[in-house]
Structure 1
Amino acid sequence: MPAPASSANTAFVLVHGAWHGAWCWRRVLPPLRAAGVEAHAVTLTGVGERTHLMDPDIDLNTHIQDVIGLIEAEELQRVVLVGHSYGGIVITGVADRLQRERPGLLVHLVYLDAVTPHPGESWSSQHTPETRQARIDAAAPSGGVSFPPPDASVFGLTGADRDWVNRRQWPQPLAVYLHPLDFDAARVAALPRTFIDCTSPALPTIAVMRQRVRSEPGWQVIEMATGHDPMVSEPEALATLLLGVQGQPV
């Protein structure tokens, strides 16, 4: 794989959140590509069209490698990495590894209403004990392997959009919910980072992250007046925001 070159075109790599798959970016990819940028959406192991690979051994390392595998297979050279919701912890792990192994490859991290972990935290770390236990309990019918999705209305979706997402959601591997991520915070923070805060309605489980990015240095925060799944509810507006941050320092 060739070394990153500053003259290479920017490529977006879109990482979905829990229960989703690459399918959720279907409305965002065309406007990104129409603007002349390369864009790819990855499906993480165990969900979407990869649900047949569900396994109790799927953990954060599996999903981190899914993203790195796509970047390597496509020989991407200047990557804006976008993580939605749970995907925020995934792109943090990807950034930590690639900043160490391939400095210069990543040019911007975008956290789309996403988890912004501190070292040693898991996706579940900032959830209430009640939420955490409810998800563990919900995994019991699968033998503790996966837990089912909520109704898409919790993401602020209604009507045909809600139905479209509900038909496509799959249970999420439980281990990725509990697995802590160890990483070098300074290494990740060396990259430009943008947090897109979806405010209407705001998803309660992202509340800590909204506060965190406003209290810590190095974050650009952009608000969108839409629900937690803007790739479904406001794809054109989201594409415009992403194009505005591509590869640019904050």
Structure 2
Amino acid sequence: MSTFLLVHGAWHSGRAWDRVVPLLTAAGHRVFAPSLTGHGDTAHLLSPEVGLETYVDDVVSLILAEDLTEVILVGHSFAGLVVSSAANRVPDRIGHLVYLDAMVPVDGETAVDVMPITKTLLDAAAASDEPWRVPPLPELPAPHGLFGVTDPDDVAWVRSMLVDEPALAYRQPVRMDDPAADAIPRTHIHCVGLDVDGITRRPVPATQPNGSPSRIRELRSGHDCMVTVPDDLAALLLELA
């Protein structure tokens, strides 16, 4: 039995994984899919003081409270920053890092460094009545939809979980200064086939920090692959179990 910890991206909640969790548990594995502070059932805790470090605290606290080891830690989108810093804090408890169509940082970088278009979101928020709130990305014309989701019922479901993101989450830097974290194997899963103007993926180096060849998998899907192709995503994750 393996342990999966699935971390949702910006604006979403732990509900984003609702179609993937049953597939992993049916295969005999333990799965956690928490909502980060200010999201899901803790949406009322959203405040200007919530940031990347808050989210890292959420993940690390769960790992320690449940005494989890050999965790397959999956970060979707913005959560690539969250899982990177979390692994840096407790490298001895992480068995594998999975960057799921995610931001992939190096030590000291912010979300703006990894994906410069994020600054546009911060600038727009700064000009609003509540400059600390960053609203979700809007739905785009087909075939892009809402985070790559186009089915009307699915769009409505995804929209029902979205909340504003605190600007501090994009401004706080990732901490990846523990050499022990470099030994953790990594897998990168890229959603391909629906490029969005202004959003570019940082190339994955040929070699992982642990010296082994980089492991890259692809899913033909929009960004929210856990919603649109949960079976395909679960199959890739189960390869790591």
Using structure 2 for the length normalisation, give the TM-score: 0.89
Mean alpha-carbon deviation: is it higher for 42-51 or for 169-178?
42-51
Task: Confirm or deny that 1:136 pairs with 2:123.
Answer: yes
Q: CA deviation at 1:221?
A: 0.4
Correspondence for 2:84: 92
8 Å Cα contact 2:115/2:200 also seen in 1: no
Correspondence for 2:113: 125
Mapping 1:227-238, distance limit 5 Å: 227-238=222-233
Task: Confirm or deny that 1:171 pairs with 2:159.
Answer: no
Mapping 1:164-243, distance limit 5 Å: 164-184=157-177, 186-203=179-196, 207-209=200-202, 211=203, 213-217=204-208, 218=212, 219-243=214-238
Q: CA deviation at 1:206?
A: 5.5
Identity of aligned residues (%): 39
Q: CA deviation at 1:136?
A: 3.0
Give aligned pairs, total: 231
Gaps of 5+ in 1: 1-8
- Alpha-carbon distance between aligned partners in 2 of 1:95 and 1:185, rounded to the nearest angstrom: 9
Q: CA deviation at 1:233?
A: 0.3
Aligned residue among 74, 77, 100 for 1:82: 74
Mean alpha-carbon deviation: is it higher for 183-192 or for 172-181?
183-192
- Alpha-carbon distance between aligned partners in 1 of 2:197 and 2:76, rounded to the nearest angstrom: 15
- Alpha-carbon distance between aligned partners in 2 of 1:127 and 1:77, rounded to the nearest angstrom: 31
Q: Taking structure 1 as reference, are residues 188 and 202 closer, same or farther at Cα in structure 2, changes over 3 Å only?
A: farther
Q: Aligned letter for 2:109?
A: E
Helix, strand or coil at the partner of 1:83: strand
Q: CA deviation at 1:193?
A: 0.1
Correspondence for 1:3: none
Using structure 1 for the length normalisation, give the TM-score: 0.86
Taking only aligned residues, the RMSD between alpha carbons, in angstroms, comes to 1.9
Higher share in helix: 1
- Alpha-carbon distance between aligned partners in 2 of 1:77 and 1:186, rounded to the nearest angstrom: 19
8 Å Cα contact 2:50/2:168 also seen in 1: yes
Aligned residue among 63, 67, 86 for 2:59: 67
- Alpha-carbon distance between aligned partners in 2 of 1:137 and 1:80, rounded to the nearest angstrom: 36
8 Å Cα contact 2:13/2:36 also seen in 1: yes
8 Å Cα contact 1:154/1:203 also seen in 2: no
8 Å Cα contact 2:100/2:188 also seen in 1: yes
Q: CA deviation at 1:53?
A: 0.3
